[in-house]
Each structure stands twice: as C-alpha cells, then as structure tokens.
Amino acid sequence: MDAKPTRIQECPLQIEARVKRIGFPAYSKDFTIVESEVTRVHAHEYILTGNAHIDPHKWSPLIYNFRHYCGLGEPLGKTFRA
C-alpha cells in the first residue's frame, strides 16, 4: 500500500522515493546508508522552463556538498565538522 503524503506548499520541488536498501556500515555506528529510487517528482510550474525542465535560477536550491553549503553562487557556509 502506497502512502499519500501531504506535500509542503512552500517547497517548490519535492521528490517521492521508495527505499530499496538500508545499510549499517561496520566502520561507524553514527549513521545509516539508505539507497532509494525516485518514483515521482513534483515541481511547481513557476520554476519550470518552457520545455518542462527545472530552471535552477528560479528554484535557487541549497546544495550540501561534502560538509559545505552552496547555492548557485558563492559558498553559503559549512558544517561544524568541516
């Protein structure tokens, strides 16, 4: 049975996914690895281009990349572990 979650109105891009595998690495008990498969993407029409692609400048994503936070321009910060 598939869940029917309520989507967040303020979030213009949402991804539904199904868990494929959960792994518990032997080298650390501090985290879990979750492998998932995207099943559906919901994008508000104001962030789409004319050919149904997402325009990142309209969306303005916050990207987490190896302990650092970035947008489409200058770095925005880093985590306490960086």
Confidence of residue 40 (pLDDT cuts 50, 70, 90): very high
Span 55-78, pLDDT tens digits: 988 888 888 878 888 887 777 777
Span 25-36, pLDDT tens digits: 999 889 899 999
> Looking at this protein, which amino acid is placed at residue 4?
K
State the chain's mean pLDDT as an integer: 85
Q: Indicate the pTM of the whole model.
A: 0.61
Inter-residue contact 58 to 50 (CB < 8 Å): no
Q: Which two tokens stand for residue 10?
A: 């303020």
Question: What does the chain look like in DSSP terms, one character per residue?
Answer: ----PPPPTT-SEEEEEEEEEEE--TT-SS--EEEEEEEEEEE-GGGB-TTS-B-HHHH---EEETTEEE-SSSEEEE-TT-
pLDDT at 14 over 70: yes
